[in-house]
Amino acid sequence: MQPVNSIPGRAEKEKCPPNTRYADLAWPVKLYLKKDFARTVQLMEESLVYPENLGEGKLITAQENDLYYYLGLGYEGLGENEKAKACFVKSSEGLSVPSDAIYYNDQEPDKIFYQGLALLKLGDDNAAKSRFNKLISYGEKHLFDKVRIDYFAVS
């Protein structure tokens, strides 16, 4: 099996923890902050594609609000506003109420944060504030919960 860091176009991620979903997010965000929007878009697009050499692939229902949000920022930085808006719309989708991510296919609560950020970009401040307030309430209620995610394979 080819390591994630040796996949063409991903050499820049060598300093990110290998084989983590955050490795796909950390480097493009760093490039975005440096205003390297073209590379941000390139790496975010790559992050949306699950490498065939890693097996079955990601779930069709995978929530990628964070990836689409940063992809939208990259397109916005390039002045490609229609593509940016499409990404923000995609990032704003999903469950709007946080819930426990107990099973491997449950939406993680942090996705609601990115929904809120995307809604701000789309000019829907009230919906964004609603997402943020629900997330804060959820966090306060579950601050000391001991959470365990069930990764039992079903395929």
Cβ-based neighbours of 80, under 8 Å, separated by 6 or more: none
d(CA 16, CA 103): 26
Domains and CATH numbers, the chain: 4-141 (1.25.40)
d(CA 111, CA 10): 24
Distance of CA 112 to the CA centre of its chain: 10
pLDDT profile of the chain (155 residues), mean per 10:
40 45 72 94 85 63 86 97 98 82 68 94 97 91 76 57
Instruction: Report the candidate in 62, 67, 6 with the shortest Cα–Cα distance to residue 32.
Output: 67
The reported pLDDT for the residue numbered 53 is 61
- Write down the pTM of the prediction: 0.75
3-state secondary structure (DSSP) of residue 150: strand
